[in-house]
Structure 1
């Protein structure tokens, strides 16, 4: 039950981002690919249920973060393979933003990023 809610949450999160970044036709087509990719990613990353609710929430957040990172990698690989970022300046800017996001995720995972400083920049 929790796995399905995480899966639905991830699919909705990616679909919402796509609709803001891509034309409707591409977004509609990509939805099917996203759903299958999320399902495959979640099958490879089993959900470990913790005993307390706080542990469960932490597990869910970690899994969502891991799955989101994997989806970013998949998206980056598909964009890189198709060279779609070369067709328009906006596409290049989006590709650069995705790459920066991946680099930031790597830095955070390795403990090299100052999270407090990043949060202050955002707000």
Structure 2
């Protein structure tokens, strides 16, 4: 069992972020006898997934909805698949945008390198 500080360090996020995720009911840590938050391996695994969802621009409201569906149980599997499939489509669109931007930048850089090389 890890403290909030240890969990934050393991995940590379702040304790403030963990408190926010708890406030938003995205993660529900255990509590020790003194009331301090404790995180086990299942929390760490869940939070790694949540962090990936955030890194790929899933809105907090959608993450909250997904977390709620998970807590409700297996009968919500279809709704969870739908939510994740929608997010995957969003990621694919982001990838297409980034690939197009990367190709454009590569052409610009090559043009400048040619210009720099020809002016020497």
TM over 0.5: no
The structure where helix makes up a greater share of residues is 1
| Higher alpha-carbon Rg | 2
Q: Structure 2 length normalisation: TM-score?
A: 0.35
